[in-house]
Homo-oligomer: A and B are copies of this chain.
Amino acid sequence: MKVKEIPENTLHRLVIYLKVLEDLEKKRIESISSEELARRCGVNSAQLRKDLTFVGHLGTKGVGYNVRSLKYSLKNFLGRSQEWNLVLGGLSPLGIFLLENKELQKEGFYFMAAFDHREENIAKIYNGVSVYSLDQISYVFKAIKVDIGVITAEENPEIYLEAFLNQGLKAILNLSKAPLFVKDTSVKIENFSFPLALTKLSYFLKDSDKG
């Protein structure tokens, strides 16, 4: 049986639903309708229900959704019931910020190693994470299981991408200024940078001037 591929936008929304459900659970809300949950997620209720069909049948007709069980299903569906190991590529200020920040650990994402191509950074330790030379990458990848590569290099991010792909990594969060792409559909890259996000807003502001 061929499982229908989940659309990118649906995935994006499912991730939001999960986060909003976690907050609802903290607020001790036990049950919610698609209408109300959709409102809190900025979407249409029919869309929310349709999105949830990818996860499975989870509501009770005439009643709504149990917050705790829907959260649990979504968390499981999105692969967030397990922990994931990260490596960092490129020791920029943002890279150091991420290594030192404890928030990702709380969410189950653990940096296991960092890589940099500049001699002066090698063997430094940030929050218990060692910085290795890119030359040592195959040695490091043999010693630990790595799931996700996070690229924070300010220059030549593509050298980290290439090194990660050579090691067989299939998931990359690219936080460098330059968006990165690969043809290989077995590899997933998420591109984000602050200037890119701000540019979408600057378009919006410029455009609303004209109105």
Contact = CB atoms under 8 A, between A and B. Distances in A.
For chain A, the bracket of interface size reads 35 or more
A148 interface: yes
A107 interface: yes
Given A79-B203, A194-B98, A16 B179 contact: yes
B178 A19 contact: yes
B170 A197 contact: no
A15 B196 contact: yes
A139 to B, nearest CB: 23
A15 B203 CA distance: 9
A140 interface: no
A202 B80 contact: yes
Contact of A97 (B14, B40, B97): B97
Contact of A206 (B12, B78, B178, B195): B78
B199 A80 contact: yes
